[in-house]
Structure 1
Amino acid sequence: MYTLNLDIAQFLSEYWQKKPLLIKNAFPQFEDPISADELAGLACEEEISSRIVVTKDDNWEVVQGPFEDYDNYGETHWQLLVQAVNHWYPDSQPFVDAFRFLPDWRFDDLMASFATPSGGVGPHVDNYDVFIIQGEGERRWTVGDNTPQQRRGGNPNSPLVEDFTSIIDVVLEKGDMLYIPPGFPHCGETLTIAMSYSIGFRAPSQQELVSEVADYLLDKNLGQQRFTSISEPDAPGVISQEHQLGLMDLLTQLSQDPNNYQIVLGKLLSQNRFELDICEGEEAYTEADLQDAFDQGAGINRIGGLKVLRLENDTNSRLFINGEVYELPNTPEEVLAILSDNVSLSSDIASTLCQNDEVQSLLLTLINQGLCYLADTEA
């Protein structure tokens, strides 16, 4: 169990997406959710995103995984980072659950790192919110103010920024946590062999939103309305202000119609950036198999990282799961809430929900697709 020592209401009103915050002893009696050896094992897998960052003289070299061994990297000046650990290591889910005071659609992934002394990724700026939690060992972190930063060496494509004046300079110890909003430069330096964890929360950019809307309109052959005007400019070579606003109003009309934007947002926000650990079985489960499993005390768990979302004031009764739409026209809102808000269902709850034929069909589909699985659960 991971209990976060944080005044959540105060955090959301004073710090969330506003300014950094250091929380000493954020997780009392913190235990690493994964060991260094287990993390190294994940980094051996082709489908898991991993990298090693080697610290050199005022420079950093990035080596992409997978990795078979680490002997050639030595005992200092390197760091192993593995993305989406929560997708591949189910025991990390209770740690992730501690951050579900923020909506699931924002959650990106749990990244875990093993670092040797003097290892780090260099000064950089993220475009997402991140919580950095220290496990075993110690790391020094500096955080700068949210001001324009120069890219290192004047290279606009560099992921690194020049050194900055710190507003936070701290050594994180086991259980300590640092929250950093988007735009604040930060840099970590490992003092002793250390495990650390980053919980990231990300929102889509304007580019991503426009791209998703355009794809949806093209797929559904929508958005055919054209601009009409009530007056024309005096000069033939000018686009009048009235015409400019009228043309852009066509986009505004699209964005204000729930029939257009709700399905786009539901599909977009339920997708993951990183591959999921699909656990599809060899043979499909039947309704009888499902009921037998419930009778034997099995519940239903989601695979790690799976997002099950519902839209407030949705025009339809449905769920959005891993970028797909699942229509449930005869399912009450309170049942949709149970399905979207719980990553696991006990046998009793699952059995009761399956008295609704739509829900039973949905859960069977998710199990047979490998997005959920039957397991002993205390939910």
Structure 2
Amino acid sequence: MYTLNFDLQDFLNHYWQKQPLVIKAAFKDFNDPISADELAGLACEEEIASRIILTKPDNWEIIQGPIEDYAPFGEDNWQLLVQAVNHWYPDAQPLVEAFRFIPDWRFDDLMVSFATPGGGVGPHIDNYDVFLLQGEGKRRWKVGPQGTYSPRGGDTHTALIDDFEPMIDVVLEAGDMLYIPPGFPHRGETLETALSYSIGFRAPSQQELISGIADHLIDTNSGNKRFTSNQEPNSPGLLPTAQQTQMLALLSELLTQPEHYQQVLGQLLSQNRFELDICDPDGQHTNDELIEALQDGATIQRIGGLKVIRLEDDNQLRLFINGEIYRFDSIELSILDTLANQFSFDNDTALALCKQTTVADYFIWLLDQGYAYLA
């Protein structure tokens, strides 16, 4: 059980997406949910995103995983980063749960790093919110103000920048945490062998939203209304300002129709950037088998990282799950909220919910898709 040790409402009011914040003892008596050896084991797997960052004089080298041999890296000046640990390591889920005061649709992943003395990431800027939580060991972090910074070596394809003048310079120990909103430059340096946790939250860009809308219109063969006008310019090579505005109004009209934008948002924001550890279903489940398992004490557990999202004021009764749509013929909104909010369902709760056939069918679908399992 992980419980945050600070005023969440004050944080949301004054710091979230506004200012960096150092939170000493954010978790009291913090215990690492994963060991260095277990993290190294995950980095051996082909389907899990991992990398080694080597600290070199005035530079950093990235070695993409899987990583099986650490001997060449020596005893200092490197760190291992493993993405989406919460997808593959169930014991990490309770730590993720502590951060669900931020909505699930924003949550990106739990990245865990093991770093040797001198290991770290150079000065860089992220385009997402991140909580940097310290486990065992110590790391020093510097954070600079927002501003205009030159990409390191003129390379615009990397997040690395030239150095900055810090406004925060702090050493984090076990349980300490640093929050950094998008756009603030920062860099970390390991003082003694350390485990660290990066809890990231990401919002969609204009590019991603427009791309999602376009894909939806193509898939549904909709958005076919064409531009019309009752007056044309005298000059054949001219596109008048009025017609430019009218064309954009045609697009704006489309984006205000819930039947289009709600599905796009639900599917886009319920998808994960990283691969999920989909369960291999053991055949098709039946209602009787589900009820019998629950009566025997089983619980229904969603797989790590699965996003289940409900849209407020949705024009349909549905949930968005990993980019897919699950529709209900009829269901109370309070129950729909429960299905979206709860990560696991104990046997008593699940049995009570399964009295409604629509909910039992939903649980069976989750199990058959490999999005949940009986624990």
Give TM-score scaled by structure 1 length.
Answer: 0.97
Kindly provide the CA deviation profile for residues 117-141 of structure 1, in whole angstroms up to 9, marking residues without a partner as x. Answer: 0001211100000000000000000
1:262 maps to a residue whose letter is: Q
Equivalences, count: 375
The 8 Å contact of residues 331 and 358 in structure 1, kept in 2 or not, is answered as yes
Query: 2:46 matched to which residue of 1?
Result: 46
Query: 1:121 matched to which residue of 2?
Result: 121
Greater mean alpha carbon deviation, residues 226-235 or residues 96-105: 226-235
- Give the C-alpha shift of residue 240 in structure 1: 1.4
Q: Partner of 2:197: helix, strand, or coil? A: strand
- Give the C-alpha shift of residue 237 in structure 1: 2.2
- Listed as ranges, the matches of 1:171-182 within 5 Å are 171-182=171-182
- Listed as ranges, the matches of 1:104-143 within 5 Å are 104-143=104-143
Q: Does 1:282 align with 2:282?
A: yes
- Give the C-alpha shift of residue 155 in structure 1: 2.0
Query: 2:160 matched to which residue of 1?
Result: 160
2:287 maps to a residue whose letter is: E
1:327 maps to a residue whose letter is: R
The 8 Å contact of residues 262 and 311 in structure 2, kept in 1 or not, is answered as yes
The 8 Å contact of residues 20 and 181 in structure 2, kept in 1 or not, is answered as yes
- Give the C-alpha shift of residue 236 in structure 1: 2.6
Supply the distance in 2 between the matched residues of 1:135 and 1:67 (Cα, whole angstroms). 22
- Listed as ranges, the matches of 1:1-379 within 5 Å are 1-375=1-375
The 8 Å contact of residues 316 and 329 in structure 1, kept in 2 or not, is answered as no
Q: Partner of 1:102: helix, strand, or coil? A: coil
Kindly provide the CA deviation profile for residues 229-269 of structure 1, in whole angstroms up to 9, marking residues without a partner as x. Answer: 23333333221111111000111011100000000110110
1:132 maps to a residue whose letter is: L
Supply the distance in 2 between the matched residues of 1:361 and 1:329 (Cα, whole angstroms). 11
Supply the distance in 2 between the matched residues of 1:335 and 1:280 (Cα, whole angstroms). 27
The 8 Å contact of residues 126 and 159 in structure 2, kept in 1 or not, is answered as no
The 8 Å contact of residues 105 and 269 in structure 1, kept in 2 or not, is answered as yes
Kindly provide the CA deviation profile for residues 306-354 of structure 1, in whole angstroms up to 9, marking residues without a partner as x. Answer: 0011000000000000100000121111110000000001111111111
Q: Partner of 1:123: helix, strand, or coil? A: strand
The 8 Å contact of residues 307 and 322 in structure 1, kept in 2 or not, is answered as yes
Kindly provide the CA deviation profile for residues 31-67 of structure 1, in whole angstroms up to 9, marking residues without a partner as x. Answer: 0111101000000111100000000001000001111
The 8 Å contact of residues 54 and 77 in structure 1, kept in 2 or not, is answered as yes
- Give the C-alpha shift of residue 157 in structure 1: 2.1
Give TM-score scaled by structure 2 length.
Answer: 0.99
Kindly provide the CA deviation profile for residues 123-173 of structure 1, in whole angstroms up to 9, marking residues without a partner as x. Answer: 110000000000000000000111011111122223310000101000011
RMSD: 0.9
The 8 Å contact of residues 223 and 254 in structure 1, kept in 2 or not, is answered as yes
- Give the C-alpha shift of residue 180 in structure 1: 0.3
Identity %: 61
Supply the distance in 1 between the matched residues of 2:319 and 2:72 (Cα, whole angstroms). 48
The 8 Å contact of residues 31 and 135 in structure 1, kept in 2 or not, is answered as yes
Supply the distance in 1 between the matched residues of 2:229 and 2:329 (Cα, whole angstroms). 41
Q: Partner of 2:167: helix, strand, or coil? A: strand
Supply the distance in 2 between the matched residues of 1:194 and 1:131 (Cα, whole angstroms). 16
- Give the C-alpha shift of residue 272 in structure 1: 0.3
The 8 Å contact of residues 141 and 187 in structure 2, kept in 1 or not, is answered as yes
- For structure 1, the 5+ residue unaligned runs are none
The 8 Å contact of residues 280 and 371 in structure 1, kept in 2 or not, is answered as no
- Give the C-alpha shift of residue 285 in structure 1: 1.9
